[in-house]
Structures are given as structure tokens and as C-alpha cells.
Amino acid sequence: MDLYRPLSGTRLEDLDTPCLLIDLEALEHNFRLVAETYRDRPCKMRAHVKNLKSPILAHMQMRAGGTVGGVCAAKVAEAEVMVEGGIDDIFIANQVVARDKIERLCALAKQAKLKVAIDDPRNLHELSEVAEAHGVTIGVIIEVDTSMHRAGVRQPAQGVNLAKLATTLPGIAFKGVMSHQTVPGRPNKETRLIEGRRFIQWRLSPPASHGPMTWPGTSPG
């Protein structure tokens, strides 16, 4: 744990090194930019706190506007820190599998709205079982692999089956779909936008065999 606490007002050149600095003007500029971008759009930002790691920064982003009023986290422990920091809507954009962690997730759901990513029916059954025992409801969002080749369902039909299962299980509320995206190499801004749009479109298109469905989508990162 970093115990270094220089007094407010300390000159920059008097700080001990190495030292992680945040330029507050740049930070506020970035937060304002997000707020303006999302002001009149149906889609809002859900900031991923795995980079911020700090409730105060998440609160600053949410106060600036343009967000869904909640955050995204990578881990149960990060979600616990955010709930302690007064944030009450958290999406854990990862699979929570170990029994201990599912227990922690469900205990935390007594204090905040929690959603979690899923890609496996066995995991979904276990989430339901523990959520029901705790008397809570866990929101589930189906992870779709579009480009990372990491977790996530590989075929739309798998996602549809999971979604159908989610709607039948106690303690579970089906909330939508999500995907992490990456564009290989070091793409320029245009390539990044085109590829990003392609991945998102793929995720939003339901398989023809199941007829039209509209799913609220989310894309952390």
C-alpha cells in the first residue's frame, strides 16, 4: 500500500519520485467531452473503473454527465470497493465462476444493483441458485465474442439459448448483451471506428432463425 501523503499545495518538483500524477484540467476536459458526446443520445457511457480504480474518479465522471449512472468493473473486489465508495449500479464485465466469488457477488447485491457477464449455462444455474438463496436478483448480460477470442459465446444461437434460459431461472434478470472489442495492430482512428462499428453491428444483429429481437447492448472499455 502506498502511504505517501504529501500536503495539499506541495510544489510539483518537491514531490518524491516515482510519483503518479493526474492533471486535473485534462481529466475534467475528458469527462466534459464524454458528457457532451452522449448528452442527446439514447446510448450512454458506463465508465470501466478497472482503469480509474477509484470511486472518487468514477463519481466525477458521473457528475459530469453522459453516463448511465453506474460503472463497469472487472472483478468482484473492484465492485466491492465501488459499492463502499457509494456507487450503486455496477456491471462486472466478466464471468464470476468460483463459488466464493458468487457468494460475494450475491451478498453485494443486497447493497447495489449488480449485473454480471455470462457465457455458460452451468455458471448461470449456479448464479441463480446462490442468488435465490440470498433472496437477491442478479442481472445477467451475455458476453459475445466479436474480436478478442477470449470469453464469450461464439455463435449467436448460443447466446439466444442462454438468454432463454436466463428468463426462466429464479434470482436472475436477463439484461442484454455485451462485447469487448479490439482491433489488432495499431490501427488509425478511421480503421478503429469502422471495425468497431462492424463488431457492434454483428452483436446487435440477431440470428435470422430466431426472428427480430432487440437487446440492450453494452461495450466496456
Cβ-based nearer residue to another protein, 65 or 161: 161
In whole angstroms, how close is the CB of 74 to another protein at the nearest point?
4
Binds another protein (CB under 8 A): choice among 114, 142, 153, 166: 153
56 interacts with another protein by CB under 8 A: no
Cβ-based nearer residue to another protein, 10 or 167: 10
Give the CA angle between residues 123, 156, 42 to the nearest 5°: 95
Stretch of residues binding another protein (CB under 8 A), selected from 27-35, 39-47, 151-159, 192-200 = 151-159
In whole angstroms, how close is the CB of 30 to another protein at the nearest point?
20
114 interacts with another protein by CB under 8 A: no
186 interacts with another protein by CB under 8 A: no
In whole angstroms, how close is the CB of 96 to another protein at the nearest point?
8
Cβ-based nearer residue to another protein, 4 or 214: 4
124 interacts with another protein by CB under 8 A: no
